[in-house]
Amino acid sequence: MKIACVQLDIAFGEPKENFKKVETKIREAAEKGAEIVVLPEMWNTAYDLSRLEDIADREGSETKSLLSKLAKELHIHIVGGSVSTKKGNGFYNTMYVANTHGEIVAEYDKAHLFKLMDEHVYLEAGNEKNIFALNDVQMGGVICYDLRFPEWFRALSLNGAKIIFVPAQWPDKRIDHWKILLQARAIENQCFIVGVNRVGEDPNNSFNGNSMVIGPWGELLWTGNNEETIEIVEIEIEEVEKVRQRIPVFQDRREKLYI
């Protein structure tokens, strides 16, 4: 399974510019042979939260249309990172996933809102797990700050996820946390973790990428630098079951003790 990590810079509060750029990057990833293309967090607007009334994607319609069109045309799966959306009267940080038929097979609103970037002031939190299947493989998706909640990842793994995607806008001043937590989530859940972080700057933060693909033993399969890039990483999904059989963590859980 060939996964393309699209590590890119994002224009602050400029959705038209960002949609054009993302389409170009998705096409480039497909040309490189990607089967699954993964985007970073909030790629339509970045964290221009005070202007969401004007720039958020209404009902996610533009995002879903773009991802569906490109997925079907290019015959790829797209894990659409996340975008700012307006749904009803609320604003959300939303992930959409499109399969090769152009079907939107997952819609996830970020469950854990990050107060240091004022998400709790402007956004509503989601309340549903994000489990979906691509190529008949169970997968899961979370968004950025969700990474700090190991029980959220365990819930996805217990529901069969063999790959968990983590799009992010993780600032460089805490990048060591990003790298260590991604590796820990892979080891403890014995699954592949695909973390795709942005690069560049906004008025309040700097972002230095360091996107990562990590195997179910915790091995680093790829780590990005601090520049825009599209990296194709090939994984062997069968490795998940091999690791889970070797060290049967899920069988050895004592759930009643954890309450």
Instruction: Give the CA count within 13 Å in the CB-facing half-sphere of 100.
Output: 11
**What confidence category does residue 185 fall into, taking pLDDT thresholds of 50, 70 and 90?**
very high
Could you report the per-residue pLDDT of 133-143, keeping only the tens digit for each?
999 999 999 99
4 Cβ contact list (under 8 Å, min separation 6): 29, 32, 34, 36, 37, 38, 230, 231, 232, 233
Run of H or E residues at 155: helix 150-158
* pTM > 0.95: yes
Q: Are strands 90-98 and 192-197 parallel, antiparallel or unpaired?
A: unpaired
Say if residues 118 and 205 touch (Cβ distance below 8 Å). Answer: no
- Cα–Cα distance between 35 and 129 in angstroms, integer? 24
Average pLDDT in the 251-259 region? 93
| 128 included as an active-site residue | no
Run of H or E residues at 15: helix 15-31
Could you report the per-residue pLDDT of 60-80, keeping only the tens digit for each?
999 999 999 999 999 999 999
Could you report the per-residue pLDDT of 12-54, keeping only the tens digit for each?
999 999 999 999 999 999 999 999 999 999 999 999 999 999 9
- Cα–Cα distance between 3 and 230 in angstroms, integer? 10
**Greater pLDDT, 196 or 258:** 196
Phi, psi values for residue 60, rounded to 5°: 65, 20
Q: Look at residue 105 and give its three-state secondary structure.
A: strand
Say if residues 85 and 123 touch (Cβ distance below 8 Å). Answer: no
Catalytic residue among 21, 64, 110, 162: 110
| Structural domains in the chain plus CATH codes | 2-258 (3.60.110.10)
Q: What is the pLDDT of residue 259?
A: 86
| 5 included as an active-site residue | no
Residue 149: name the closest of 126, 172, 122, 173 by CA: 126
Catalytic residue among 5, 25, 144, 162: 144
Q: Which residue has the tokens 């069969």?
A: 160
Say if residues 218 and 183 touch (Cβ distance below 8 Å). Answer: yes
- Cα–Cα distance between 91 and 50 in angstroms, integer? 11
Catalytic residue among 5, 21, 41, 86: 41
Q: What is the pLDDT of residue 198?
A: 98
| 110 included as an active-site residue | yes
Say if residues 184 and 162 touch (Cβ distance below 8 Å). Answer: no
Buried b (16+ CB within 10 A) or exposed e, 162-201: bbbbbbbbbbbeebeebbebbbbbbbebbbbbbbbbbbbb
Average pLDDT in the 142-161 region? 98
Could you report the per-residue pLDDT of 95-125, keeping only the tens digit for each?
999 999 999 999 999 999 999 999 999 999 9
